[in-house]
C-alpha cells in the first residue's frame, strides 16, 4: 500500500479468490464462511469502522467479500498487565526486587522504574501492574492474517491437492488462479495459495471479458456485470432466476410445485451459473405414462431442470424450465440441446418402469434374503419377518386387519431390488406403491408402502390411513430397538441410523392416532409403549440385543419428546408430565391440564407443598407405610385424612376417565387441609409409631397429588 495514506483513513475493502468451478451444493456455506472469517478477523484487530457493512459474493468461479469501511491501520491498543504481588516485587527496604527486575527484563521493559508501575488489589493482596500500548495492526498484515484464517477454516467438503507453476503443492477446494485485494484504489500487499494479490479479475468464460482491471474496490459488482457478464451476488442471481422461472411458468399456465426440492434446486442452479437465463424445453408427451416421480427426479437430479405442473390440476406437464449460463438472442440451439439430453434419460426411466412391472412385487420378496440389513441383525428378509410380527400385534391392538397388515409388511421392501430403485434409490417406497397398484394390491397396502418413508405422520389417522400408520410404527420401532440393542446408539451429533428420527416418528404416530380417536385418552393400556417395545424386542434372536434395550429405548423416546415439547411448552410443565412417564398418547392432554392448573391461585402453594413432601418422604419414610386411623390424634391430621378419603375416589375416577384437568382441579380443594396440617402438626416426633403414621398420611397425599404429573416440578 502507498505509504502516504494516513493511518486514520478508511476505505472500502474488496477481496476475491478466483478459482476453478466450485462444488455447487457447498458454495453458499463456503461463501458465508469466507466472508465471515475475513470480517471477524479484521474486526478483532480493530481494523473496521463501527458502521462497516460486509457484503459476500459467490459465483461458480469465485469467493469474494466487500467491507465498506476498513482502516489502513488500527489505533494503538491500550493494555494492562499484571506482573506479580508487591510483597515479591519489593525488597525489605522498598526497592525493586530481583524477581520483578527479571520479569521486566523478560518483557523488554527493563527501562521501567517503580514509578512506572501501578499497584492494585484483587481483594486479597496487592499486585504490580504495567499499563502500556501496542501499535495497531496495519491493513496488509491484518488482511494476511484474515485470509490465512479464512482459508484454513473453510468448510471444504473434499480437499484437492494441486501443484503451482513453481512445483509447490497446494491444498484447497479447487485450484485458485487469482487473488484480488483492493483497499479503495490501492492493491493490498497480501498473498494466498501461492498467488500474489493484484487488481484483476475475470469475467464470464464465454460472454464477458477474460481480464478485467478494477480501478477501485467499489467498481467490483458493476464492472463485473457490465464488462464481465457476471452477477457476483449469489442473492441477486438467485432472485433473477426465481423471477424468470415464475414469469415463464405463468405464461404457460403452470406452476413449479411447492416441494422442498424446488428451493434446493434453486440454490444449486444459482451456484452453477454466473449470468443466468431461463428457457422453456419440452419432451414427448408419451413419457407422461411413466410415474411422475420418476420423471421429476431425473429432471431435477440429473439435469437440474425445473419440471412444470398444470396450474389447475397440478399434474406433471411435458414442459420444463432450463436455467442456462448463456444468454442468447436465438436460444433454439440451447433448448434443442437440452431436449436431446433429457430424452434418453426419460427413455431409461420408461424402460426401467416397463421392465419392473413385468415381475410381480411379491415375486421379488425372496430376493431380500440376499440383501443385508445389518451383519448383526440379518437380511432384509429377516427384518421383514420381524416387522410382520410387530405390525400384527399393532393391528390386534387397534382392531385393524391383521392379514392386510402383514401383507403390507411383506411387500414394503420388495422394490429394493427393482431396476428403477437401483437407478434412483430416492424412489424406494414410491415405486413399490406403483408396482403394488399395478399388481392389484388393496389400496390400503398401496398407501402404506407409499408412505412408509415419510419423516412424520402429519395428519390425524383415518380408516384409510390406519394401515400406513401401523407400518410406519412397526418399521421404526424395529429399527430403534434393533440398532440400539446392538450398541449403535446416537452419540453427540452422529446418528447414522437415524434413531432420533425414528423416535420422533413414533411420537408423531401416537399423536395422530390420538387425534384420529384410535387411542382413547381414557384408556392407558391400548398401544402401551412398553408393551410395543417388548414386542419388538421379542422378534430378535435370543441374546442378540442388550437386556436393557427396552428400558433404554423407552427413556430415549421420552427424552426426544421432552426436547420436542420444550420448543413450544413451559419446561416446568413438560418435566412435570414426563417425570411420571405417562402413556405416550396422554402426554399432550396432561400438559394442557397442567397449564390450566397453573392458572389457579392454589397451584404454586400446592406445588411447593408437594416438593416438600417429596423431599421429606425420600429422606425419612420407611418402604412400607400404612395409615392406622387410631393413631390420628391432631385435628388437622384428622381433617387431612378425611379430605384425602373424600378426594381419592373422585380423583381416581377423573384420572381413569382421562379428565386430567378435573383431577388437578380437585387438588385445589385440598389446599386448606394441607396448609392446616403443615401449620399445626409436628411430623418428625420422637414417637416412631406416630411419626410413621403421619409419614404414611403424607405418602398417600403425595400419591394423590401426582397422578397426572409430578406437580412439585411446577413450583416457581
Is 599 within a domain?
yes
Mean pLDDT throughout 254-265?
Answer: 94
C-alpha cell at 119: 499497584
Measured CA to CA, the distance from residue 324 to residue 276 in angstroms comes to: 6
Judge whether residue 240 has pLDDT over 60: yes
Mean pLDDT throughout 599-612?
Answer: 85
CB 164 within 8 A of CB 171: no
CB 384 within 8 A of CB 414: no
Q: Which of 332, 356, 380 is the last residue of a domain?
A: 356
Mean pLDDT of all residues belonging to the chain = 92
Q: Are 506 and 602 part of one and the same domain?
A: no
> What are the pLDDT digits (tens) for 4-32?
444 458 899 999 999 999 999 999 999 99
Q: Looking at residue 22, what is its pLDDT?
A: 95
Q: Are 671 and 630 part of one and the same domain?
A: yes
Instruction: Name residues whose C-beta falls within 8 Å of residue 529's C-beta, 6 or more positions apart in sequence.
Output: 510, 554, 557, 583, 584
> What are the pLDDT digits (tens) for 63-122?
999 999 999 988 877 777 888 898 888 898 888 899 988 988 888 788 888 888 888 888
C-alpha cell at 379: 437380511
Judge whether residue 424 has pLDDT over 70: yes
Instruction: Name residues whose C-beta falls within 8 Å of residue 402's C-beta, 6 or more positions apart in sequence.
Output: 392, 395, 396
Q: What is the DSSP string of 624-639?
A: -----GGG--SHHHHH
Is 3 within a domain?
no
Maximum mean pLDDT: which of 100-109, 269-278, 694-703: 269-278
Q: Are 244 and 294 part of one and the same domain?
A: yes
Measured CA to CA, the distance from residue 433 to residue 449 in angstroms comes to: 5
Mean pLDDT throughout 387-409?
Answer: 96
Judge whether residue 317 has pLDDT over 80: yes
Is 176 within a domain?
yes
Mean pLDDT throughout 273-292?
Answer: 96
Lowest mean pLDDT among 174-178, 185-189, 444-448, 610-614: 610-614
Give residue 112's domain range. Answer: 77-134
CB 256 within 8 A of CB 305: no
Task: Check residue 289 and report its DSSP letter.
Answer: G
Mean pLDDT throughout 249-254?
Answer: 96
Q: Looking at residue 219, what is its pLDDT?
A: 96
Query: Phi, psi at residue 587, to the nearest 5°?
Result: -60, -50
Q: Looking at residue 299, what is its pLDDT?
A: 95
Question: How would residue 623 be classed by pLDDT, with cut points 50, 70 and 90?
Answer: low
Question: How would residue 709 be classed by pLDDT, with cut points 50, 70 and 90?
Answer: very high
CB 428 within 8 A of CB 416: yes
Query: Phi, psi at residue 624, to the nearest 5°?
Result: -105, 120
Query: Phi, psi at residue 117, to the nearest 5°?
Result: -105, 155
C-alpha cell at 10: 478508511
Q: Are 550 and 482 part of one and the same domain?
A: yes
Q: Looking at residue 620, what is its pLDDT?
A: 67
345 CA to centre of own chain? 34
Task: Check residue 569 and report its DSSP letter.
Answer: S
Question: How would residue 601 be classed by pLDDT, with cut points 50, 70 and 90?
Answer: confident
Mean pLDDT throughout 688-697?
Answer: 84
Mean pLDDT throughout 654-678?
Answer: 90
Instruction: Give exposure, 240-262, as e/b (b: 16+ Cβ within 10 Å).
Output: bbbebbeebbeebebbbbeeebb
Q: Are 274 and 409 part of one and the same domain?
A: no
Counting Cβ atoms within 10 Å, is residue 24 exposed (0-12), middle (13-18) or buried (19+)? Answer: middle
Q: Are 28 and 142 part of one and the same domain?
A: yes
Q: Are 262 and 317 part of one and the same domain?
A: yes
> What are the pLDDT digits (tens) for 490-533?
988 889 999 999 999 999 999 999 999 999 988 888 899 999 99
How many CA atoms lie less than 13 Å away from 192 in the CB half-sphere? 29
Is 582 within a domain?
no
Query: Phi, psi at residue 138, to the nearest 5°?
Result: -80, 155
Q: Looking at residue 621, what is its pLDDT?
A: 60
Query: What domain count does the chain have?
Result: 5
Judge whether residue 267 has pLDDT over 80: yes
Q: Are 343 and 425 part of one and the same domain?
A: no
Judge whether residue 284 has pLDDT over 60: yes
Q: Are 53 and 92 part of one and the same domain?
A: no
Q: How many CB atoms lie within 10 A of CB 190?
A: 21
Judge whether residue 272 has pLDDT over 60: yes
Q: Are 633 and 519 part of one and the same domain?
A: no
Q: Are 63 and 87 part of one and the same domain?
A: no
Q: Looking at residue 575, what is its pLDDT?
A: 93
Query: What is the CATH classification number for the domain harbouring 631?
Result: 1.10.730
111 CA to centre of own chain? 58
> What are the pLDDT digits (tens) for 165-181?
888 888 999 999 999 99
Question: How would residue 546 be classed by pLDDT, with cut points 50, 70 and 90?
Answer: very high
Is 576 within a domain?
no
Q: Are 592 and 695 part of one and the same domain?
A: yes
Mean pLDDT throughout 571-593?
Answer: 93
Measured CA to CA, the distance from residue 471 to residue 451 in angstroms comes to: 9
Measure CA of the first residue to CA of the last residue in the chain; give whole Å: 62
CB 476 within 8 A of CB 442: no
C-alpha cell at 16: 476475491
Alpha helix locations (H) across 107-217? 139-152
Amino acid at each position: 500500500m502507498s505509504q502516504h495514506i494516513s493511518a486514520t483513513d478508511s476505505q472500502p475493502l474488496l477481496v476475491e479468490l478466483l478459482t476453478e468451478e466450485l462444488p455447487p451444493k457447498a458454495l453458499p456455506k463456503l461463501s458465508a464462511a469466507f466472508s465471515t472469517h475475513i470480517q471477524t478477523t479484521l474486526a478483532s484487530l480493530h481494523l473496521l469502522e463501527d458502521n462497516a457493512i460486509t457484503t459476500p459474493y459467490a459465483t461458480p468461479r469465485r469467493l469474494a467479500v466487500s467491507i465498506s469501511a476498513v482502516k489502513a491501520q488500527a489505533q494503538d491498543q491500550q493494555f494492562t498487565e499484571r506482573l506479580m504481588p508487591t510483597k515479591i516485587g519489593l525488597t525489605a527496604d522498598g526497592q525493586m526486587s530481583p524477581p520483578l527486575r527479571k520479569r521486566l527484563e523478560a518483557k523488554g521493559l527493563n527501562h521501567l522504574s517503580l514509578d512506572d508501575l501501578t499497584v492494585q488489589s484483587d481483594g486479597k493482596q496487592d499486585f504490580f501492574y504495567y499499563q502500556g500500548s501496542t501499535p495497531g495492526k496495519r491493513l496488509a498484515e491484518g488482511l494476511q492474517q484474515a485470509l490465512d484464517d479464512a482459508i484454513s477454516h473453510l468448510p471444504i467438503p473434499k480437499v484437492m491437492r494441486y501443484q503451482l507453476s513453481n512445483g509447490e503443492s497446494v491444498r484447497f477446494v479447487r485450484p485458485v488462479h487469482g487473488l484480488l485485494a483492493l483497499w479503495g484504489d490501492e492493491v493490498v500487499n497480501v498473498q494466498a495459495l501461492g498467488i500474489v494479490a493484484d487488481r484483476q479479475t475475470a469475467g464470464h468464460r464465454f460472454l464477458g471479458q477474460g481480464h478485467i482491471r478494477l480501478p477501485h474496490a467499489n467498481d467490483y459488482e458493476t464492472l463485473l456485470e457490465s464488462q464481465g457478464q457476471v452477477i457476483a451476488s449469489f442473492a441477486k442471481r438467485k432472485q433473477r432466476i426465481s423471477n424468470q422461472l415464475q414469469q415463464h411458468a405463468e405464461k404457460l399456465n403452470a406452476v413449479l410445485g411447492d416441494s422442498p426440492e424446488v428451493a434446493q434446486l434453486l440454490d444449486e442452479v444459482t451456484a452453477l451459473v454466473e449470468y443466468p437465463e431461463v428457457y422453456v424445453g419440452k419432451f414427448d408427451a408419451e413419457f407422461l405414462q411413466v410415474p411422475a416421480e420418476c420423471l421429476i427426479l431425473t429432471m431435477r437430479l440429473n439435469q437440474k431442470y425445473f419440471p412444470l405442473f398444470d396450474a389447475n390440476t397440478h399434474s406433471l406437464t411435458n414442459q420444463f424450465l432450463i436455467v442456462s449460463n448463456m444468454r442468447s438472442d436465438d436460444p433454439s440451439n440451447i433448448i434443442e440441446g437440452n431436449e436431446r439430453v433429457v430424452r434418453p434419460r426419460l427413455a431409461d426411466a420408461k424402460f426401467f418402469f416397463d421392465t419392473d412391472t413385468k415381475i410381480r412385487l411379491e415375486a421379488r420378496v425372496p430376493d431380500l434374503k440376499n440383501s443385508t440389513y445389518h451383519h448383526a441383525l440379518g437380511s432384509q428378509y429377516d427384518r421383514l419377518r420381524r416387522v410382520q410380527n410387530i405390525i400384527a400385534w399393532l393391528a390386534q391392538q387397534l382392531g385393524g386387519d391383521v392379514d392386510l397388515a402383514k401383507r403390507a409388511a411383506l411387500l414394503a421392501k420388495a422394490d429394493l431390488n427393482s431396476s428403477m430403485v437401483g437407478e434412483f434409490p430416492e424412489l424406494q417406497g414410491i415405486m413399490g406403491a406403483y408396482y403394488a397398484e399395478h399388481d392389484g394390491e388393496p389400496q390400503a397396502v398401496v398407501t402404506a408402502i407409499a408412505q412408509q418413508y415419510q419423516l412424520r405422520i402429519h395428519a390425524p389417522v383415518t380408516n384409510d390411513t390406519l394401515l400406513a400408520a401401523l407400518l410406519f410404527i412397526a418399521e421404526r420401532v424395529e429399527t430403534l430397538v434393533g440398532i440400539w440393542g446392538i450398541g449403535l446408539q446416537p452419540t453427540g451429533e452422529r446418528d447414522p441410523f437415524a434413531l432420533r428420527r425414528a423416535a420422533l416418528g413414533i411420537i408423531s404416530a401416537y399423536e395422530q392416532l390420538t387425534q384420529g380417536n384410535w387411542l382413547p385418552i381414557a384408556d392407558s393400556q391400548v398401544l402401551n409403549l412398553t408393551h410395543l417395545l417388548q414386542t419388538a424386542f421379542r422378534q430378535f434372536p435370543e441374546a442378540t440385543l442388550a437386556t436393557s434395550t427396552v428400558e433404554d429405548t423407552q427413556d430415549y423416546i421420552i427424552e426426544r419428546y421432552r426436547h420436542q415439547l420444550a420448543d413450544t411448552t413451559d419446561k416446568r410443565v413438560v418435566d412435570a408430565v414426563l417425570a411420571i412417564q405417562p402413556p405416550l398418547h396422554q402426554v399432550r392432554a396432561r400438559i394442557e391440564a397442567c397449564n390450566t392448573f397453573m392458572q389457579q391461585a392454589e397451584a404454586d402453594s400446592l406445588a411447593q407443598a408437594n416438593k416438600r413432601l417429596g423431599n421429606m418422604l425420600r429422606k425419612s419414610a420407611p418402604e412400607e407405610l400404612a395409615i392406622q386411623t387410631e393413631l390420628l390424634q391432631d385435628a388437622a391430621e384428622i381433617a387431612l385424612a378425611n379430605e384425602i378419603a373424600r378426594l381419592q375416589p373422585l380423583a381416581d375416577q377423573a384420572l381413569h376417565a382421562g379428565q386430567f384437568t378435573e383431577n388437578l382441579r380437585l387438588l385445589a380443594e385440598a389446599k386448606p387441609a394441607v396448609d392446616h396440617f403443615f401449620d399445626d402438626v409436628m411430623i418428625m416426633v420422637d414417637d416412631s409409631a406416630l411419626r410413621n403414621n403421619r409419614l404414611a398420611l403424607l405418602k398417600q397425599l403425595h400419591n394423590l397429588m401426582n397422578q397426572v404429573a409430578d406437580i412439585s416440578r411446577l413450583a416457581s
